[in-house]
Structure 1
């Protein structure tokens, strides 16, 4: 019985009047245009140190190519902020930080303290 109730309902997504349906085209990958591993591995097989250095350089270059100028600047600012925070943390020992915090708390006025509630 429940199947009969939904028999006249059409399936699919909603369509707006006058809107054209655009289908996404799949990108074709041509095998002959892809770089082969045999040519890249033969150039990197000279020494292990050179191969790792060139692979690291390639990964850095590919990273930079994929990012916009704004993204690069944002990451640079983030890195600088992190360095400042780390320098500030490394400049003081834990004991010095606790002593400084205790001085700050002792300098606060008494109205910030919690009042006693109830008899006693």
Structure 2
């Protein structure tokens, strides 16, 4: 029945002082001992995070050949698209847009219908 010693009965009280619920301490537990990582472990994790190419290579090993081709093609298309966008300055893009606007059909104008 020790699992049910901290059960509180009664209605749920949302406002007011927090209830003092005793903390169960296991006999022979590791009180005061650090559960953190050693400095060596921290340095190893930092090194592994810094090596992103290894993580990408490990990810590529699990891909099928079709998935690899798809990812390569998508990357080539993205690079091409970004190079095309980066080639134009803001002024050039605005000028192209201003030339594009008069050539648009004015489909949003509602023609007059009915008598009058």
TM-score range, shorter chain: 0.3 to 0.5
Q: Which has the higher helix share?
A: 1
Greater RCO (CA < 8 Å, at least 6 residues apart)? 2
Question: Taking structure 2 as the reference length, what is the TM-score of the superposition?
Answer: 0.45
Question: Taking structure 1 as the reference length, what is the TM-score of the superposition?
Answer: 0.43
